Amino acid sequence: MSGEPEVRAEALQRSADGEPYSARYGDVYASRAGAAGQAREVFLRGCGLLGEDARWSGRRQFVVLETGFGLGTNFLATWQAWRDDPRRPDLLHYVALELHPLPAEELLRECADPRWHELARQLAERWPPAMQGLHPVWLDAGRVRLLLAFGDAADMLARLELGADAVYLDGFAPSRNPRMWSPELLAQVAALCRPGARAASYTVAGAVREHLCAAGFEARKAPGYGGKPQRLEAELRQPASTRARAPGPGPGTALVIGAGLAGAAAARALARRGWRVRVLDAQGVAAGASGLPAGLAHLRPAAAGEGLARLTRAGLAWLRQTLEEQPAQLQAGDGVWMSAAHARLAKLAGHAADWPPQCLRAAEADACAAAAGLPEAPAAWWTAGGAVAAGALCAAWLRQPGIELRTPCAVHALGFDAASGEWLALDARGQELERARVCVLACAGDGERLLRASGLLEASRKPLLRTQSGQGFVVAAGELETLRGLRCGVMGSAYALPLPPAAVAARGLDPAQRWLFVGATHEHAGQPAWSAEQAWQHVGAGLQEWCAAPGWPRALPAGALGFRGERTGGADRLPLAGRWAGAQGDCPPGLYLSLGMGSRGLLLSALAAEIIAGELEGEPAPLERDLMDALAPGRFSARRGET
């Protein structure tokens, strides 16, 4: 992402008339006749979103694309109009571009209508850091989904995947910011629009109308607002090119194979959209590695533009959206502390300036110890994230209405009924267990076995996945003298975290005590399994920076609870999330994978679920196109000649 204009938060300024003003562009943010009125009369009315015959009436989903978020006035007006309309769409997606996001307090202070103040407060509370990329914000119980695309408008449009029903062409005047109104940018906008999409703007500049017409819109002038004689309305007739996502056919039936984190997240995402979901698992809920009492979800500290750093930031953002709807008892601690002595962090200082402090910051030993609740600590990096009760979260996701759990239920192969267009889950005798229009494989290492057993992956193909064993332990905090006051997750080459209350309750542990989870080993396949005592010493060695005198106990405490599991990661260390098309692209439609999370199942499962649900429903993709391509199962299908 080098060479792009830099995303930076900007403080709001004032014109001589006291209007919100940008010195960078020499222009005000909205009409002097009133920002709220302009939002309704120019943008909402111009896109046909007001009145009894509003274009979104009765729709399952509706997608708005805005080219300049600014003060958020158009978004707040649209959100309020959605709330006021009894025939509103079930799900409102609002994708907004912004290169210079304002601070959250400015958004709240500049709220253009007192009736929107509560909405502005909710937005300000969830406002993301000013970083290049996509930032999800769920509002109104997840029925209003704001996706902020921070970055240069042309660059971000090229990375988006969506199908817009309405476009707000907003931004500073064409004479002040010509890049926002260039023919190339407007052609990209048109390519992301569904047939019949409407666009609106305050400007009727001749060049803008010409560029819109060249991009496939039919543009016309309409009566203006606030002293301006005219405004612009346009409708997409025939785009010069298109890559718009079409809306899906609507909810149906889905099978999810696997009741771990990946399967539970996928089932929840579909059920929330009205799908009837049956989850099948041979062992039970969170029976594999997802059943660990707790884990850490955190950013990968690296250059902010590095692929895995971007992926983990996105995963954390989407996980946080789902956690907002869950009890606080599922979480513990604020952030994760990583020892600066860790080899992977040795070069981080050179990239620290890429990250805002609410994502990543350094601290000296004393400050780190005080924040983590320890008597001593090393110099460390704090990164956004925290401890989450993994098994309890998995169970909570599966309680979403619309999900039916069937376990134990072992699936030995898949079949496809071409007559009905349904996928079949088959038992060991080839008998049908369940059938549905959509099937999601979310069963870790067993997912690849199912593909091969079903003839959907050639035996000669290199493995898609690889598996590694690991162990961890729950211990009473009093057994680890120097960690007994631990308030958040800490990491060296191993980790320790305070057990969230939900995990304590799920394991039947004494709630009057404090409990810690420590782990985890990485045991190589093909080698003898480690004993619990060996694993305990290995974890202790990985936490040595955090263990001041008297240090790590040599013997495994008598009351410790051990956990052993297998992490299944992608062969290229990245997950597989999305539609499986087969080696030659000949797989029937409706088969999706959510596999290969490795040690990041807690962090990435919600994101993978949104990728799959978004593809099925034709909703805006939760990631930029390059990251979507990096996770697509088809990346393996495209590798010809592998043996």
CATH of the domain at 508: 3.30.9.10
Q: Check residue 529 and give its pLDDT.
A: 87
Whether 73 and 213 share a structural domain: yes
Reading the block at residue 633, the tokens are: 């199962």
Whether 400 and 513 share a structural domain: no
The answer as to whether 231 is a domain residue is yes
Name the DSSP letter for residue 399: T
Q: By the 8 A CB rule, do 519 and 599 touch?
A: no
Report whether pLDDT(583) > 90: no
d(CA 139, CA 119): 9
Percentage of the chain beyond pLDDT 90 is 77
Give the 3-state secondary structure of residue 447: helix
The answer as to whether 246 is a domain residue is no
Report whether pLDDT(176) > 90: no
Whether 348 and 230 share a structural domain: no
Sort strands 403-406 and 276-280 into parallel, antiparallel or unpaired. parallel
The answer as to whether 503 is a domain residue is yes
CA-nearest of 261, 132, 288 to 604 is 261
Report whether pLDDT(493) > 50: yes
Whether 70 and 173 share a structural domain: yes
Q: By the 8 A CB rule, do 35 and 180 touch?
A: no
Name the DSSP letter for residue 461: S
Whether 22 and 74 share a structural domain: yes
In terms of residue numbers, what domain contains 308? 297-387+467-570
Whether 561 and 484 share a structural domain: yes
CA distance readout (Å), 141 to 59, 162, 326, 434, 556: 18, 22, 11, 31, 45
pLDDT in tens, 82-136: 999 999 999 999 999 999 999 999 889 888 899 999 999 999 999 999 999 999 9
Instruction: Provide the edge-to-edge strand list for the sheet that holds 413-417.
Output: 413-417, 422-426, 432-436
Q: Check residue 45 and give its pLDDT.
A: 97
The answer as to whether 3 is a domain residue is no
Domain stop point among 513, 540, 570: 570
Whether 126 and 210 share a structural domain: yes
CATH classification of the domain holding 93: 3.40.50.150
pLDDT band at residue 642, thresholds of 50, 70 and 90?
A: very low
pLDDT in tens, 343-390: 566 667 777 778 899 999 999 999 999 999 999 999 999 999 999 999
Domains contained in the chain, number: 3
Whether 453 and 501 share a structural domain: no
The answer as to whether 150 is a domain residue is yes
Reading the block at residue 620, the tokens are: 């805006």
Report whether pLDDT(318) > 90: yes
CA distance readout (Å), 554 to 480, 484, 497: 11, 17, 20
Whether 223 and 75 share a structural domain: yes
Whether 37 and 175 share a structural domain: yes
Domain stop point among 544, 570, 596: 570
Reading the block at residue 484, the tokens are: 């007994």
Flag the least confident range among 105-109, 176-180, 257-261. 176-180
pLDDT band at residue 178, thresholds of 50, 70 and 90?
A: confident
pLDDT in tens, 531-575: 999 999 999 999 999 987 778 999 999 999 999 989 999 999 999
Q: Check residue 641 and give its pLDDT.
A: 41
Which element (helix H / strand E) includes 608?
A: helix 601-617
Averaged over 413-423, what is the pLDDT? 97
Please compute Rg for the chain using Cα positions.
26
**Amino acid code (one letter) for 581:** A
The answer as to whether 245 is a domain residue is no
Which element (helix H / strand E) includes 517?
A: strand 515-519
Report whether pLDDT(240) > 90: no
Report whether pLDDT(26) > 70: no
Please report which residue ranges of 177-331 form alpha helices under DSSP H.
183-191, 206-215, 261-272, 307-323
pLDDT band at residue 302, thresholds of 50, 70 and 90?
A: confident
The answer as to whether 2 is a domain residue is no
CATH classification of the domain holding 586: 3.50.50.60
Give the 3-state secondary structure of residue 340: coil
Q: Check residue 27 and give its pLDDT.
A: 64
Give the 3-state secondary structure of residue 270: helix
Q: Between 307-323 and 601-617, two packed helices, what is the crossing angle to 10 degrees?
A: 80
Whether 321 and 218 share a structural domain: no
d(CA 162, CA 379): 43
Q: By the 8 A CB rule, do 147 and 622 touch?
A: yes
Domain stop point among 517, 535, 570: 570
The answer as to whether 7 is a domain residue is no
d(CA 562, CA 560): 6
pLDDT band at residue 214, thresholds of 50, 70 and 90?
A: very high
Neighbours of 447 (CB within 10 A): 25
Whether 439 and 504 share a structural domain: no
Sort strands 13-14 and 576-579 into parallel, antiparallel or unpaired. unpaired
Burial 340-371 (b: 16+ CB within 10 A, else e): bebeebeebeebeebbeeebbbbbeeeebbeb
Averaged over 587-598, what is the pLDDT? 96
